[in-house]
Structure 1
């Protein structure tokens, strides 16, 4: 399995880290109505929940880039490095979102997007 494929696996599971942060402490958490409970949250919980949604939203583009690059026999070492860059950017993104650093969050979001677009240009 390539490094890029490992990155796909990691990113497929990573949004659940944000879920855990959003539900950390479970104060009054209602597992029967989790979305309603999350909708009432503020502060880091609300930001972690928003980060979770954005992390899920970014997956199709990243997954497609890695799969298409693989099918097209793009240089694997470059695809791997860009996939690692995407993972690093999205990890920093979650940290910035939870910490409430919006400008830095936007910068690392753009860096992650640039990594995915760059994967397409390896073809």
Structure 2
């Protein structure tokens, strides 16, 4: 039995899957030890609690939703690039760049930097297109 190589791009898929959890953690930061009746996180009704949040907590939750939205295209692009035998070095670089841009995107979203956030979102989207076509000949 031969095990496939777990490439750097595949590790980036794992990181991308974890980024929404990071966003959720940011949104909930500092509220776990506060009673729900006093504004603390309510694990019995987390979506309703998140919907009542404002400022950076609301933006972290929105970043979580957007990060979930970006995942399918990234996963598919990496898998397709591997299937069509893209240059592994190029694919790895693009995947790391995508992850770095998504981390910056999250920071800009939470930090309320809308214009810069939109630019970074677009860059990550175009990098993802580059991943998809990285093996195109």
Q: Confirm or deny a common fold (TM above 0.5).
A: yes
1:7 to 12, 24, 30: 12
Superposed CA RMSD in Å reads 0.7
Per the alignment, residue 25 of structure 2 pairs with 20
Answering whether residue 57 of structure 2 is matched by residue 45 of structure 1, we say yes
Structure 2 residues not aligned, in runs of 5+: 1-5, 32-38
What is the distance in 2 between the residues matched to 1:28 and 1:70? Answer: 44
Aligned residues: 123
What is the distance in 1 between the residues matched to 2:25 and 2:127? Answer: 26
SS class of match (2:86): coil
Per the alignment, residue 75 of structure 2 pairs with 63
State which structure, 1 or 2, has the greater radius of gyration over its C-alpha atoms: 2
1:90 to 87, 95, 102: 102
Moved more, 96-105 or 20-29: 20-29
Structure with higher helix content? 1
TM superposition score normalised by structure 2: 0.88
- Distance apart, 1:25 and its partner CA: 1.4
Answering whether residue 42 of structure 2 is matched by residue 30 of structure 1, we say yes
